[in-house]
């Protein structure tokens, strides 16, 4: 890891050579170490092999002390609270907005924003593709909700997840955020052809708080994202998936891109 940190111009892959069930005299490097309980006798032998003499659920004091971060955590929290108190005094409006967003509360005027967006759409009564209608809605919502963080798995031009309020998110070679010409931080992530990566990253963003992530791809590619979609549903996280091209009438891309069973299968996921 220390050597990896010295690489400034390229990523590093660390390969760990591991043994499944390491320490178990009779189960190590076998499927039994993964799929079955070791059993009382094998646990006893494994403890002997590893030199672990402590009784079950007894943690040695030195080990507990090494992992006990309560005091350090309490000090770090107190220091953060002091800094935020000073920030709140200097920037009360921004501090209030920070608290709102970290709590996950929508702006007080959001209901009116939604009504206005619907009324505007009905008034104009434009004949547009559903993905364009989605973008029109996103234009209204991303302008009103600075916490909306968009993106697409290399299909922005097709999904239409970008808006005037969500310039592309960019970082330089040093990992520093690059701001737009008018000083904004980008709010639309180009995930590349990485549907699962996009869905998993959005889960992390939602768990962190302060942002409401949304990402787009073709509905048929929800297959690649399914595990992360299911995890978000199980955790009841506020993650928005924009699935376009949701018909067998997709056209020139052919059967591989034509969703048939996908809506029905997604509806089986609890909380989705």
Encode pLDDT of 10-39 as tens digits. Answer: 999 999 999 999 999 999 999 999 889 999
C-beta atoms surrounding 159 within 10 Å? 23
Can you give the pTM of this predicted structure? 0.86
Burial bucket for residue 155 (CB in 10 Å: 0-12, 13-18, 19+): buried
Q: For 223-250, what is the mean pLDDT?
A: 94
**For residue 9, pLDDT beyond 90:** no
Active site residue 126: no
| 42, 139, 147, 195: the active-site residue | 195
Q: At what angle do helices 110-124 and 130-144 cross, to 10 degrees?
A: 150
Residue 192 pLDDT level (bands cut at 50, 70, 90): very high
Distances (CA, A) of 193 to 12, 151, 218: 21, 12, 11
In this prediction, residue 73 carries a pLDDT of 98
Residue 72 pLDDT level (bands cut at 50, 70, 90): very high
In this prediction, residue 8 carries a pLDDT of 85
Domain annotation for the chain: domains and CATH numbers: 17-60 (no CATH), 70-103 (no CATH), 110-266 (3.40.50.970)
**For residue 214, pLDDT beyond 80:** yes
Lowest mean pLDDT segment, chosen from 15-19, 73-77, 244-248: 244-248
Identify whether the C-beta of residue 196 lies closer than 8 Å to the C-beta of residue 225: yes
Q: Give the Cα separation of 202 and 228 in Å (integer).
A: 9
């Amino acid at each position: 890891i220390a050597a990896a940190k010295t690489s400034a111009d390229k990523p590093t892959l660390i390969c760990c050579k591991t043994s499944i069930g390491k320490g178990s005299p009779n189960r190590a490097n076998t499927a039994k170490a993964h799929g079955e309980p070791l059993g009382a006798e094998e646990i006893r032998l494994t403890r002997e092999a590893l030199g672990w003499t402590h009784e079950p659920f007894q943690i040695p004091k030195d080990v507990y002390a090494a992992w006990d971060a309560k005091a350090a955590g309490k000090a770090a929290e107190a220091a953060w609270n002091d800094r935020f108190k000073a920030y709140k005094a200097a920037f009360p409006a921004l501090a209030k907005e920070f608290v709102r967003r970290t709590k996950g509360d929508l702006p007080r005027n959001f209901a009116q924003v939604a009504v206005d967006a619907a009324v505007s759409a009905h008034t104009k009564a434009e004949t547009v593709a559903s993905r364009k209608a989605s973008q029109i809605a996103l234009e209204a919502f991303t302008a009103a909700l600075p916490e909306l963080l968009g993106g697409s798995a290399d299909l922005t031009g097709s999904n239409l997840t970008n808006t005037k309020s969500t310039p592309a998110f960019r970082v330089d070679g040093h990992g520093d955020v690059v701001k737009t010409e008018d000083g904004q931080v980008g709010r639309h992530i180009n995930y590349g052809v990485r549907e699962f990566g996009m869905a998993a990253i959005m889960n992390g963003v939602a768990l962190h708080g302060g942002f409401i992530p949304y990402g787009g791809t073709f509905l048929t590619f929800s297959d690649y994202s399914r595990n992360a979609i299911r995890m978000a549903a199980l955790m009841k996280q506020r993650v928005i998936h924009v699935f376009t091209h949701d018909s067998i009438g997709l056209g020139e891309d052919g059967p591989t891109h034509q969703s048939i069973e996908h809506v029905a299968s997604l509806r089986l996921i609890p909380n989705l």
